[in-house]
Amino acid sequence: MTKRPPAQDELDYVQSHRSGHLATVTSGGQPLVVPCCFAIAERDGRPTVVSVLDTKPKSVDVKQLARVRNIEANPCVCLTVDDYSESWDRLRFVQLRGSATVLEAGSTATVYAIERLREKYAQYRDMPLEHAPVIEIGELSAFSWSAAGTFDGRADDLDSVIRGRRSVRAFLSDPVPGDVIRRSIEAAGWAPSPHGRQPWRFAVVEDADRRRGLADAMASTWDEQLRMDGQEEKIIRIRLEKSRQRLIEAPVLVVPCLYLADLDVYPDPDRQEAERIMAIQSIGSAIQNFLLTIYASGFDAGWMCAPLFCPEIVAGYLGLAEGLIPHALLPVGRVAKDPVRRPRLPVDDLIVQWQ
């Protein structure tokens, strides 16, 4: 089999997955395959794979683990990452083969590797890893297969998609296929809503001039809001320009709109107001479905609430029909810069009562 370095889409595919299987070989030629967590890193400008020997319960000291002893005897290893689906046209896998080294705890390379792993896995952020060795795989070569012929998209198991979705603020100019947007809006349509009325619609803005025009139309409102916060002039200019650039650089903008015309009608104002509130709640569910489907398709999005402060301006510029109330802007594209993700609260902090 001819060796070749991994392509960027293969590396992206591996990085987007939460677990894989690492194969090592004993000095006697016996294979060993174990599940592992990992991250794509870099050494001397070349990609590597790193995996920490963490503090999860183990039957022996980490340095006595079979995979560690195997690497010391034979550094040739293989990491396999794959997707299985009952729809066989979605089957795919990537194998990264290379030479493994066990990095000692505390070394510069180990500290860097743990940083990369903590960026990917929230579980590692509170785990004491200062004395943990790291397996580093370099000199990578790749072998892969996909039923679809490409590696667009990420791991599509629910947990990976939920935890992998992020709010992106910087986008490449690469186009987003129309069927990706349509499929994501279709997924939004399956969100729960009051009495199944689906009180939301979506406007899609691809044309570059229209995106720029929308950003310009909203600029004065953004400026006013920032000044109300007492921001310094320099900060106002910077934040305003960053917001404009998100709309201009993202190749597609999707505008979720609240649509109340089809809601059930009640004779008393309290129930009617509750119906409206339920509609507003449900648009959040629809947007979440959209964002998760975009992420699972290999693209990213952000969630900007600016239209809440100027719905008339957005609706007027886009020429939306009466009754459509813009509630958000969702810029969509390929990520240009990974966002800094804020840590999530532990589940025990989220549960305030359990009776």
Q: How far apart are CA 86 and CA 81, in angstroms?
A: 17
Residue 229: per-residue pLDDT = 76
Q: In Å, what is the CA distance from 35 to each residue of 10, 19, 38, 76, 82?
A: 19, 7, 10, 17, 12
How is residue 333 written in tokens? 């594209």
How is residue 264 written in tokens? 């059930």
Q: How far apart are CA 332 and CA 219, in angstroms?
A: 20
**CATH architecture of the domain with range 165-333:** 3-Layer(aba) Sandwich (3.40)
Please check whether residue 251 is in contact with residue 314, taking contact to mean a CB–CB distance below 8 angstroms. no
Start-to-end Cα distance in the chain: 60
**CATH architecture of the domain with range 8-158:** Roll (2.30)
DSSP lists the bridge partners of residue 24 as 32
Return the SS3 of 31.
strand
Series of mean pLDDT values for 10-residue runs along the chain (355 residues): 86 91 94 96 96 74 85 96 84 96 94 94 89 95 90 75 91 92 96 96 97 90 76 80 90 98 95 96 98 92 93 96 97 90 90 96
CATH topology of 8-158 equal to that of 165-333?
Answer: no
CB atoms within 10 A of CB 33: 12
Distance of CA 245 to the CA centre of its chain: 20
What residues contact 306, with CB distance under 8 A and at least 6 apart? 218, 221, 222, 243, 329
Name the residue with tokens 């599940």.
35
Residue 1: per-residue pLDDT = 59
What residues contact 98, with CB distance under 8 A and at least 6 apart? 48, 49, 76, 77, 137, 138, 139, 140, 141
CB atoms within 10 A of CB 223: 15
Q: Name the pTM for this structure.
A: 0.69
Fill in the DSSP letter of residue 100.
Answer: E
Return the SS3 of 143.
strand
Q: How far apart are CA 275 and CA 269, in angstroms?
A: 10
Q: How far apart are CA 91 and CA 327, in angstroms?
A: 37
DSSP lists the bridge partners of residue 94 as 81, 144
| Backbone angles phi and psi of 31, in degrees to 5 | -80, 150
Q: Where are the domains of the chain?
A: 8-158, 165-333
Q: How far apart are CA 122 and CA 140, in angstroms?
A: 26
Q: How far apart are CA 84 and CA 90, in angstroms?
A: 7
Q: In Å, what is the CA distance from 259 to each residue of 197, 201, 240, 324, 341?
A: 10, 7, 29, 5, 32
70 torsion bin: left (phi>0), alpha (psi -120 to 50), beta (else) = alpha
